[in-house]
Amino acid sequence: MIARVLLSLILSLQFACVVSAADKTGSDRKNQPIQIKSNSLSTDRDSSTALFTGKVSARQGDVTIYCDRLIVFYSEKEKGVDKVEAFGNVRIIQGNRNGQSGHAVYDGNAGKIILDDNPKLYQEGSEVTGKVITYTLDTQQSVVTSSPDSQVKVIIQPRQKGKDGSE
């Protein structure tokens, strides 16, 4: 119990961000277009998917995803993107936060990214690893789970003091 409270506190302190005018982009993200670049594209109307392969980069608002292969799932009902699934050398960047894994699912409506296959989150030199990392973009909250044979690992770097002694 104490370990869970400590982990929650550590994650909250490490990945919390001061809300500012610059973060307004995050709350408007789902209303912004998604720009995708890749070496190739194939679409399948029957399954409402688009497959991007080769040096893929996808950007929506303040979030950018890089990967080897990306599948976009469209919602016929809502006439938009339902989810995005990334495979191979996945890197996700939002501000000074950087996530990486072998696989990720981005649910734009919920504003969540689920990283698995050796996931890691980095921020200002600190690092969190586990079996699965669920990251909520708009609130910068993380939930990290372990597997039966491994634990969640957190490395927290001390804050650097400026020349005047302030942090």
The contacts found for 99-108 with CB under 8 angstroms, 24 or more apart, are: 99/133, 99/135, 101/133, 104/65, 104/67, 106/63, 106/65, 107/83, 108/29, 108/30, 108/34, 108/60, 108/81, 108/83, 108/84
CA–CA distances in Å: residue 134 to residues 7, 99, 129, 164: 14, 11, 11, 38
Residue ranges covered by each domain of the chain: 2-155
pLDDT (tens digit, 9 = 90+) per residue, 96-134?
Answer: 999 999 999 999 788 899 999 999 999 988 999 999 999
pLDDT (tens digit, 9 = 90+) per residue, 7-37?
Answer: 333 333 333 332 333 344 445 766 788 899 9
CATH of domain 2-155: 2.60.450.10
CA–CA distances in Å: residue 31 to residues 34, 51, 98: 9, 22, 23
- Report the C-alpha gap between 103 and 118 in whole angstroms: 8
- The model's pTM is 0.76
- Judge residue 25's burial from the number of C-beta atoms within 10 Å of its C-beta, 0-12 exposed, 13-18 middle, 19 or more buried: middle
Tokens coding 80: 């938009």
pLDDT (tens digit, 9 = 90+) per residue, 54-107?
Answer: 999 999 888 899 999 999 999 877 678 889 999 999 999 998 999 999 999 999
